[in-house]
Homo-oligomer: A and B are copies of this chain.
Amino acid sequence: MKIIVDALGGDNAPATILEGCKNALAAFPALSLVVTGPESLLSEAFCAPEQASRVEIVHAPTQIRMDEPPVQAIKQKRDSSLVMGLELLKAGRGDAFVTCGSTGATLSGALLRVGRIRGINRPALAPILPNKAGTGVMLIDCGANMDCKALNLQQFALMGDIYMRTIMGLSNPRLGLANVGTEEEKGNELLHEAFPLVKGLPGINFVGNIEGRDVFDVDICVADGFSGNLLLKAVEGTAKFMSGLIKQELTASLPRKLGALTVKSAFANIKKKMDYTEYGGAPLLGIDGVVLKGHGSSNARALYNTIRQAMGMVEGQVVEKIRQKLEEQL
């Protein structure tokens, strides 16, 4: 199993990326890595003999920054760690590609350099959030496609279902369409068209339309990329806003501070349960290869989890399963 890692992607690159790589190598004896980035930096990082033998360094001197126009960056920075990594995946030099770099550049790069699975019109970015079941809910799409067609939503449903069965081991994942109400006739024109298409997919446990508040009650939530992104970030923002309020209140006085100490472990548990980096990064489903986008602010633990997730997608043959399902159904 060989995973390609972009050493220069993310707010904390390269330090946390390299640390995450080392931890993954230590944890998984069958893992080897291809790491893209400046050669001198990487050869120094992986100088220990045991690890050096399992790491291939591919020199990529430049970085695509978070604020660069994605398509332009992909076309111009052919020697960047991101583009080189995607080219290596396309060339079959590794089984999967992991980056914590710019979402836009990763999406454009994956489309331009790796391409789509035949039959998939639009790939989707599909992060996993905590849910009530504790196994996570996939939010697909979360920002890859701004103006979607009903067919796109149907394909998101198909891909999300395969992922949650294969990687999360759910035998019958509940899939909902993000909408303003639960009744079939609710929503905008897109949802009116998408509902019967998703309902018509064989073998899908379609629970119907769900509201923004119900996202924690299902296993897959299908949305267009615009609404899905707003939904995802509203969840993030609300969790952060509430955490801020809690912190403020629990440190408001000395008695409160002392009281808070007695329930410290409770808040550590809550934090862990709300931490979506535990699930790894967001797969780009629909790309003809395993591409995973870790959170920009990923720490070593998050990168480690994303590598582990990539290994799972390769072992579970998620891309092959999507291809096969498309041939059967669409």
Whether the Cβ atoms of A245 and B273 lie closer than 8 Å is: yes
Q: Which residues of B contact A214 (CB under 8 A)?
A: 233, 237
Query: Chain copies in the assembly?
Result: 2
Q: A233-B211, A249-B266, A249-B270 are in contact. Are A147 and B189 (CB under 8 A)?
A: yes
Query: Can you name the residue of chain B whose Cβ is closest to the Cβ of A217?
Result: B237
Minimum C-beta distance from A221 to chain B (A):
10
Pairs of residues from A and B, 7 with the lowest C-beta to C-beta distance, nearest first = A212-B233, A213-B237, A259-B262, A249-B266, A212-B234, A238-B238, A234-B234
Interface of A is mostly: helix
**CB contact between A143 and one of B180, B230, B235, B274 (< 8 Å): that residue:** B180
Whether the Cβ atoms of B230 and A178 lie closer than 8 Å is: yes
Report Cα–Cα, A245/B180, bound state, in Å. Answer: 25
Chosen A-B contacts, 22 in total, with CB atoms closer than 8 Å, are A146-B180, A146-B187, A146-B188, A180-B229, A212-B229, A212-B233, A212-B235, A213-B240, A215-B237, A226-B227, A230-B231, A234-B234, A234-B235, A234-B238, A238-B238, A239-B242, A249-B266, A249-B267, A250-B263, A256-B265, A259-B259, A260-B266
Minimum C-beta distance from A306 to chain B (A):
21
Q: Which residues of B contact A211 (CB under 8 A)?
A: 229-230, 233, 237
Q: Which residues of B contact A233 (CB under 8 A)?
A: 211-214
- Number of A interface residues at 8 Å Cβ cutoff, please give it: 55
Report Cα–Cα, A211/B229, bound state, in Å. Answer: 8
7 extra A-B contacts, CB within 8 A, seeds A147-B188, A212-B236, A242-B242: A213-B237, A216-B237, A216-B238, A230-B234, A246-B246, A250-B266, A259-B259
